[in-house]
Amino acid sequence: MARDPKYDILFEPIQLGPKTMKNRFYQIPHCNGFGSEKPMSQAYFRAMKAEGGYGACCTEYCSIHPESDDTHRVSARLWDDDDIKNLGLMCDMLHEHGALAAAELWYGGPHAPCMESRCVPRAPSQIPSDFEHLTYPKEMDKDDIREVQGFYVAAAKRAREAGFDIVYVYGSHSYLPQQFLTPYYNRRTDEYGGSLENRLRYPLEVFRAIRAVWPDERPISVRISATDWVEGGIAGPESVEIARAFAEAGADAIHVSTGQTSPDAKPVYGRAYQTPFSDRIRNEVGVATIAVGNITEADQVNAIVAAGRADLCALARPHLADAAWTLHVAAEQGWAEQWWPPQYLTGKQQLERNLAKKAAQAAELAEGGI
């Protein structure tokens, strides 16, 4: 097929902090349980098909401590030697195929039922999660605050040893950092609650501590909920200041999510429905952003990136449905420079021939007025 130059930006490399991503497609998982057993689901089902062509692949959430394990053992365990070994194999697979490997540092707060240690979950305030767990968490005192920060630092060191290129702090969806950020859950009256400056204090302390042990030559990111979609939660203007604070603390990119704070939330769903929040943060703060949320087609990615609304687009379901989705998009748009695994080249050639035939047939039909 002839190359369509309007799609060039999708396959152009981008500098993400000190690292280079080969294209704008950021593959993320969808809580599908690849982090569980056997051994660790065959290193995340061969790194979610590492040969699929995307620029970076992110793990499912990685628990940073035994007390943060999830009920169904979905998460990988950064504190577990066996999981670290398998995560290292995952990184090797991705690097072999030219993709960056990203680890998601997760501490569930009241979402975590503490399966290993049978502990009481910890949170900024003694408010239970409104979702699956009704256990009242312990309100974190200063010792808890320091101890959990240490969990994050230890996990970041382990991710570094495993070979990850990127870490990002899972600070959205009502997990611990976001519980400090949102007034919906944070009812503290000390220096960690009240004003936005105070609510930012602990997430920024954690982020800076991770940044201090994470290599300078590897990028670091944070995922935020730009709005809680619920009364009494974070709204758009605050998210800009939250993103600005993390950028000033050294974040190379902000992964812009929304919601999942309360079942009472009223999100406005639709195609690429979270992209306006990415757009605002990118252009008001001047930081690279990752757009996510109901982005399913190359045309959508192209429109978002070309218009300067985000620097990268994160996709989950399209890659679950088709592990070679990025390779297929490259062939459809005539991007011959896209790298394919050598073992797949005959498939690439056949796909390109079939696409060219279809294009020629469509042109003939159009010329004949049919």
Residue 212 CB neighbour total at 10 angstroms: 10
Residue 221 burial (10 A CB sphere; 0-12, 13-18, 19+): buried
The answer to whether residue 107 is catalytic is no
- What string of DSSP letters covers 211-259? HHHS-TTS-EEEEEES--SSTTS--HHHHHHHHHHHHHTT-SEEEEE--
Strands 312-315 and 76-77: unpaired
Which is catalytic among the residues 7, 26, 107, 175? 175
Decide if 281 contacts 256 (C-beta within 8 A): yes
Q: What angle do CA 167, 148, 56 make, to 5 degrees?
A: 10
Number of Cα atoms under 13 Å in the Cβ half of residue 126: 5
Which amino acid would we find at residue 47? Answer: A
Decide if 258 contacts 275 (C-beta within 8 A): no
Which residues are designated catalytic?
175
